[in-house]
């Protein structure tokens, strides 16, 4: 059984300063949640992570109110995975967008862009801290559940104009950009079978009402390639995750890899 993972921001000394055998005190909301809600006990084994690839395996040696002390048993620095996987997820009702984000984190996505497409029923502004925080909380929880030490970048909300610029920049870096569309003629597996390896792969997913003709045209002119996943039409919460799963398996992202132990 794998160890539970907690993303730790408050530790004394900090996670980055720990070596095997060192003892640290973990405090803050994460520690309180572990002690109070999850009923953490002395003797339990955990992985404490910083969200940037550092994983410290620890044994809990003392519970002190809402904090706890733990002894490091191993320190691993996990390199950034390659190739990079990016999800552009249109806002959607009934939290289907957050469902997509959650599942994408579980399969290893490296960056997420919230997109306010023309047919989005749900809308929020770039300055809407509450809705942005909901996405961040989803990312954090999903990464802990899936035992990730490296958290994906959650980018700011993008308009279609912003997205077009980002697609152009990605293409200039040699990355491949796919846009899921129900009328696309080529399937993702067939495209990947013929394509050369790339440093990054993007998947753009529209809202429930789909991507408009103007949007698909503009994105394709910027370098995106329309794809279909199969004979069925998927929900916005499913399409991106399905596409990223196919890509991850094809490029070897799901092959077992270990970090560097210290």
Q: Which of 143, 114, 162 is nearest to 4 (CA)?
A: 143
- Residue 130: what pLDDT? 76
- Residue 10: what pLDDT? 85
State pLDDT tens for residues 131-155. 789 999 999 999 999 999 999 999 9
Q: Which of 70, 71, 107 is nearest to 86 (CA)?
A: 107
State pLDDT tens for residues 23-80. 999 999 989 989 998 899 999 999 999 999 999 999 999 999 999 999 999 999 999 9
Pure H helices in 120-235: 129-145, 160-172, 188-194, 213-221
Instruction: Please provide the average confidence, as pLDDT, over all residues in the chain.
Output: 92
- Dist. CA 77–CA 49, nearest whole Å: 10
Percent of the chain with pLDDT over 70: 95
């Amino acid at each position: 059984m794998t160890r539970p993972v907690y993303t730790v921001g408050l530790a004394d000394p900090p996670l980055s300063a720990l070596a095997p055998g060192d003892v640290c005190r973990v405090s803050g909301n994460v520690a309180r949640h572990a002690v109070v809600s999850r009923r953490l006990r002395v003797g339990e084994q955990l992985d404490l992570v910083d969200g940037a690839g550092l994983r410290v395996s620890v044994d809990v040696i003392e519970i002190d109110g809402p904090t706890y002390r733990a002894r490091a048993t191993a320190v691993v620095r996990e390199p950034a995975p390659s190739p990079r996987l990016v999800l552009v997820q249109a806002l959607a009702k009934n939290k289907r967008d957050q469902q997509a984000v959650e599942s994408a984190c579980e399969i290893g996505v490296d960056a997420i862009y919230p997109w306010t497409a023309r047919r989005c029923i749900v809308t929020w502004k770039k300055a809407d801290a509450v809705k942005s925080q909901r996405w961040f909380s989803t990312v954090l929880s999903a990464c802990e559940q899936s035992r990730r030490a490296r958290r994906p970048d959650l980018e700011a909300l993008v308009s279609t104009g912003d997205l077009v610029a980002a697609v152009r920049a990605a293409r200039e870096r040699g990355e491949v950009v796919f846009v899921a569309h129900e009328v696309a003629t080529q399937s993702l597996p067939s495209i990947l079978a013929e394509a050369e390896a790339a440093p990054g792969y993007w998947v753009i997913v529209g809202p429930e009402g789909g991507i408009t003709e103007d949007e698909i045209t503009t994105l394709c002119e910027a370098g995106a390639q329309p794809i279909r996943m199969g004979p069925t039409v998927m929900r916005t919460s499913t399409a991106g995750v399905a596409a990223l799963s196919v890509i991850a398996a094809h490029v070897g992202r799901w092959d077992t890899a270990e970090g560097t132990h210290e």
